[in-house]
Copies of this chain bind each other. A is one copy, B any other.
Amino acid sequence: MIIDIHGHYTTTPPQVSDFRQRQIEQFQRDGTVLQHPPEVSDAEIRAGIEPNQLARMKERGVDLTVFSPKAVGMDHHQGNEATNVVWARYCNDLIHRVCKLYPRQFAGVGMLPQAAGVAPRGAVIDELRRCVLEMGFVGVNLNPDPSGGRWSDPPLWDKDWWYPLYEQLVELEVPAMIHVSGSCNPHFNAVATHYINGDTTAFVQCLMSDIFRDFPTLKFVLPHGGGAAPYHWGRYRGMAQDMGLPTLEEKLLGNLFFDTCVYHQPGIDLLLSVVPPDNVLFASETFGAVNGVDPRTGHHYDHTRRYIEASPAADAQMRQRLYRDNALGVYPRLRPICG
């Protein structure tokens, strides 16, 4: 069995993103909150999913995708908490619909109604609980920078800001993928820069704080192969040592996991040779950042399974952990879905 832990619903019908656009325009115009997003039919969902995500999964031998709303569409830096509650509920409901239509192929991960400048409290926790307890979601995406590239809210180690949310994650036994969304800072292209910088930033915040001492069972997943962290593993090992911290293994690796969304062979080889095999989870983020076919290989850049199969750093036993066992460990709520 092969589980891809990082897929986004990037193929919604046009009325979905249109609604968000109208909602933001109205909010900017008069500060009011557009409710009642448009209907999406089962046929529209099937038309988006079947020729795209499902077809790609079959082609690549992926059995199940852990599926969440489009990351760049979470859009927490726009609107306010009230608009973002409407938007998050709508997007999460659509994920739930996909999971009900294809219960063996998709497991849900929710987005949270975060908003720039607003501590994640009642509304965020309510939506988290609704996702997990009412809709059977197995995890959640947490945006470490709801200000969208301004990085103006508190870092992940801020106890007052973030710890109440972490308490809920622990209680519900769901991991958080630490995934930024769009960028309103012209320095940062969202998918090319902000995503990767967000991963690296989260890694160092975990390394240089006590989050995992304070929440020993909390689990974070870093997307995009952990940003720059594995490439600079020696730098981080050395800095931890210079600072008198425990090793990366002791400090982080009981709680922090890396996906395999790295789109070339040398990157996957490095990831698999540097990060211990229990801390890597198979993922491709299809359809996500990169859609093209690599002329050097004749295959899609994001066909990460090919790199894993070809990597001298992974044997059959390790691949089984990446493809399945680690996912069931990090996402305990996946276990009943996978029978």
| Chain A interface residues toward B at CB < 8 A | 144-145, 149-151, 154-155, 185-189, 191-193, 196-197, 200-201, 204-205, 207-208, 224-225, 227-228, 230-239, 241-242, 262-267, 269-270, 273-274, 289-292, 294, 301-302
Contact = CB atoms under 8 A, between A and B. Distances in A.
Contact of A266 (B149, B201, B233, B263): B233
Contacts of A193: 200-201, 204
A105 B262 CA distance: 40
A205 B187 contact: yes
A200 B196 contact: yes
A192 B145 contact: no
B224 A290 contact: no
Contact of A264 (B233, B266, B269): B233
Contact of A232 (B196, B232, B238, B265): B196
Contacts of A241: 290, 292
Contact of A289 (B200, B231, B239, B302): B239
A178 to B, nearest CB: 12
How many copies of this chain are found per oligomer?
Answer: 2
Which residue of A193, A227, A263, A274 has the most chain B CB atoms within 10 A of its CB atom? Answer: A193
A266 B242 CA distance: 21
B201 A239 contact: no
Given A145-B187, A187-B205, A238-B291, 8 more contacts: A187-B201, A192-B235, A232-B262, A233-B264, A234-B263, A237-B263, A238-B301, A266-B270
A141 to B, nearest CB: 18
A149 B149 CA distance: 11
A155 B186 contact: yes
22 contacts: A145-B187, A149-B151, A187-B201, A191-B239, A192-B204, A192-B207, A192-B236, A193-B201, A193-B204, A233-B264, A233-B266, A233-B267, A234-B265, A234-B301, A235-B263, A235-B290, A235-B301, A238-B263, A242-B292, A264-B274, A266-B269, A270-B270
A299 to B, nearest CB: 11
A184 to B, nearest CB: 11
B231 A208 contact: no
A266 B273 contact: yes
A158 to B, nearest CB: 8
B294 A237 contact: yes
Contacts of A236: 192
Contacts of A197: 197, 200-201, 228
Contacts of A264: 233-235, 237, 274
Given A200-B193, A242-B290, A264-B237, A154 B231 contact: no
A225 B231 contact: yes
